[in-house]
């Protein structure tokens, strides 16, 4: 099992210029990738950054995302009804790059915003504050919430090489507490007591990038708060982890198996060593299918329920039953 280290104070070693590659327990330092991409054109074409927030309550799974992809801005808002396993809201908006901002840190001091014709999003955690303030407005969805990190386990941060001598960074944090409310198709729903997580990614990515991803957020049958992040491909094992109450437990790389022709059929979500063995039953999917020649994307993100077993290194076994989350299959040329 890999070691999770104390985060460095900078992405690059100031004496050698080498990237401080590794998995870290805590928040990333400021992400400045200019040593690898000194020209503005390089960053315009290669640097991709996004913040994705998930909220899981007893009734709903809500996902809000802001992305700055160099030459295009994007925002998305999605809501799944847990009982009916159906999407209530599925909105995406695209625009020019100046219509979105994703800052250079993922935790304290972070900011992400989008101002698009059909999407207004702002996520902000000022310096000295422990909570992320989230406001989001899409057609049929309005969210106003605070995502509190004070009682949450630490973030998992990663600095990882990518093909072509490039570099990416990511910060994942799960089991944040939630206070606030959402208005979904005109109905107000309290989010107090829900669980939240975020994915901040900022990197210089290969022209073609692929990955599979799994996120689960809820409680085990025995009552523990549980958050799961698994990746297959791209960053791989470095970003795979389990959050259980106050613990952050490293995991080996994920293995996500599904029928590409029928992505709403059940998925198998495992780790390579079998410690995680889950069945994921999608209710619906948020997706993009685009081919503009120079830029193309096949993106599928089913949302649904996890059931199965997670074995911990100390021998404990956590049983999950109908825990909310997502899977994702991404193949993008940008």
CA separation for the pair 113, 73 (Å, rounded): 10
Q: Rounded distance, CA 326 to CA 37, Å?
A: 33
Residue 177: per-residue pLDDT: 98
pTM for the model stands at 0.96
Q: Is residue 253 part of a domain?
A: yes
Tell me whether residue 6 is in a domain.
no
Please report which helix (H) or strand (E) contains residue 138, including its range.
Answer: strand 131-138
**49 vs 113, 202, 234, 334, CA distance in Å?**
12, 4, 15, 13
Nearest to 217 by CA among 182, 272, 255, 176: 176
**3-class secondary structure, 314:** coil
Identify the CA nearest to 177 among candidates 199, 207, 206, 153: 153
Look at residue 2 and tell me if it is in a domain: no
The answer to whether position 3 is within a domain reads no
pLDDT at position 294 is: 62
- CA-to-CA distance for 283 and 263, rounded, in angstroms? 10
Residue 1 lies in a domain: no
Which pairing describes strands 187-190 and 195-204: parallel, antiparallel, or unpaired? unpaired
The answer to whether the beta carbons of residues 74 and 53 sit under 8 Å apart is no
What's the gap between Cα 11 and its chain centre? 20
And the tokens for 81? 């009804």
Please report whether residue 122 resides in a domain.
Answer: yes
pLDDT attached to residue 203: 97
What is the structure's pLDDT at 288? Answer: 79
Give the C-alpha separation, 294 to 311, whole Å. 44
Spatial CB neighbours of 47, under 8 Å, sequence gap ≥ 6: 33, 37, 70, 202, 203, 204, 205
CA distances, 214 to each of 44, 211, 284, 303, 324 (Å): 28, 10, 15, 10, 11
Burial of 66 (0-12, 13-18, 19+ CB in 10 A): buried
Instruction: Provide the CATH number for the domain around residue 47.
Output: 2.40.370.10
Backbone angles phi, psi at 58, to 5 degrees: -65, -25
> Can you give the pLDDT at residue 120?
98
Q: How many domains does the chain fold into? A: 1
Q: Give how far Cα 310 sits from Cα of 53, 156, 216, 316, Å.
A: 23, 19, 12, 8
Q: What per-residue confidence (pLDDT) applies to 332?
A: 87
- Expressed as residue numbers, the domain containing 77 is 22-333
113, 106, 58, 64: which is closest to 81 by C-alpha?
58
Q: Does residue 197 belong to any structural domain of this protein?
A: yes
The answer to whether residue 42 sits within a structural domain is: yes
Tens-level pLDDT at each residue, the chain (334 residues): 688 999 999 999 999 999 999 999 999 999 999 999 999 888 888 999 999 999 999 999 999 999 999 989 999 999 999 999 999 999 999 999 999 999 999 999 999 999 999 999 999 999 999 999 999 999 999 999 999 999 999 999 999 999 888 999 999 999 999 999 999 999 999 999 999 999 999 999 998 999 999 999 999 999 999 999 999 999 999 999 999 999 999 999 999 999 999 999 999 999 999 999 999 999 999 997 767 666 777 889 999 999 999 999 999 999 999 999 999 999 988 8
């Amino acid at each position: 099992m890999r070691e999770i280290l104390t985060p460095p104070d900078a992405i690059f070693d100031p004496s050698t210029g080498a990237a401080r590659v590794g998995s870290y327990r805590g928040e990333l330092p400021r992400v400045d990738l200019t040593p690898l991409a000194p020209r503005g054109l390089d960053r315009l074409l290669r640097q991709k950054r996004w913040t994705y927030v998930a909220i899981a309550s007893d009734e709903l799974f809500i996902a809000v995302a802001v992305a700055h992809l160099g030459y295009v801005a994007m925002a998305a808002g999605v809501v799944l009804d847990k009982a009916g396993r159906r999407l209530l809201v599925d909105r995406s908006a695209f625009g020019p790059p100046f219509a979105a901002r994703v800052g250079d840190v993922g935790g304290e001091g972070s900011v992400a915003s989008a101002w698009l014709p059909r999407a207004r999003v702002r996520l902000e955690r000022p310096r000295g504050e422990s909570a992320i303030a989230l406001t989001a407005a899409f057609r049929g969805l309005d969210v106003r919430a605070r995502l509190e990190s004070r009682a949450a386990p630490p973030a998992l941060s990663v600095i990882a090489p990518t093909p072509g001598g490039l570099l990416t960074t990511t910060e994942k944090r799960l089991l944040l507490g939630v206070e606030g409310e959402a208005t979904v198709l005109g109905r107000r729903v309290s989010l107090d007591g829900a669980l939240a997580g975020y994915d901040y990614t900022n990197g210089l990515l290969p022209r073609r990038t692929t990955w599979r991803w799994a996120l689960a957020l809820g409680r085990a049958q025995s009552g523990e708060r549980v958050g799961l992040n698994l990746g297959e491909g791209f960053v791989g094992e470095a970003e795979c982890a389990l959050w259980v109450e106050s613990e952050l437990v490293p995991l080996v790389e994920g293995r996500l198996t599904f029928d590409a022709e029928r992505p709403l059929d059940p998925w198998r979500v495992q780790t390579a060593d079998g410690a995680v063995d889950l069945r994921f039953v999608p209710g619906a999917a948020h997706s993009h299918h685009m081919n503009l020649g120079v830029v193309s994307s096949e993106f599928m993100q089913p949302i649904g329920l996890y059931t199965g077993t997670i074995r911990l290194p100390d021998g404990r076994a956590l049983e999950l039953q109908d825990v909310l989350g997502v899977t994702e299959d991404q193949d993008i040329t940008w």
